[in-house]
Amino acid sequence: MNVQIVSDKQAGGKAGFKVFEDALQNDAKVLGLATGSTPVTIYGQLVASDLDFSQLTSVNLDEYVGLNADHPQSYHYFMQQHLFNAKPFAHSYVPDGSNLDAAAATSEYDQIIADNPIDLQLLGLGKNGHIGFNEPGTDPESTTHKVTLTESTIDANARFFTNADEVPRYAYSMGIGSILKAKQILIVAYGEAKAAAVAAMIQGPVTPDVPASYLQTHPNVTVILDEAAASQLD
């Protein structure tokens, strides 16, 4: 793993942008993208740049089950607001959360990934070491699958909805096996709350208890951390 320690999220955004820029210069055609607060500064740098994505394809990690693409809390909507409206791609794929047939939705997405091999996959890191919605215990060979969200995730999301009953209980997520097929992976983490997960990911054993630890088996991983997130590394 190529570990880069930066001062803050803004510096992390610039470092992440450089990884994307280098990938495009090396003829990357398919970018795997992530949602959440962590990649926002990277997307800000991409939007402000003169990089052109109009001939490229994007493939997102995950989406809530039961939300339409235009729902303000859907990951599809997030991507539109933070990147796609300013930097459209030739094709942008996000799992279809409106499709409640899990077998159909996940097999369709597996085919999209097979048809569009990912050159660079962006990841955030969960406090428990999850990547995408692959929680501890997920099969490392997993492909796209339906995930039952943890109570902590449901509780954390409740503030975004007017009624607790509206909070999604499930998501479709690219699997660990799918993620590891990307030619290059960029994972970003900020804050002391992520420090234990960062240490386990980089220096701990490869174990289903820490899904991100499987990144140790990948030949081309860049890790961008602020000092707080890196604080438990030896």
Active site residues: 62, 128, 130, 135
Pair type for strands 62-64 and 57-60:
unpaired
Q: How far is CA 49 from the centre of its chain?
A: 21
Closest CA to 113 of 55, 68, 64, 175: 175
Q: Residues for the chain: how many in total?
A: 234
Q: For residue 122, count other CB atoms closer than 10 A to its CB.
A: 26
- Which are the contacts of 47, defined by CB distance < 8 A and separation ≥ 6? 82, 83, 86, 87
Q: How far apart are CA 228 and CA 232, in angstroms?
A: 8
Q: How far apart are CA 208 and CA 187, in angstroms?
A: 18
Helices H / strands E in the chain, number of each: 7, 10
Q: How far apart are CA 106 and CA 70, in angstroms?
A: 20
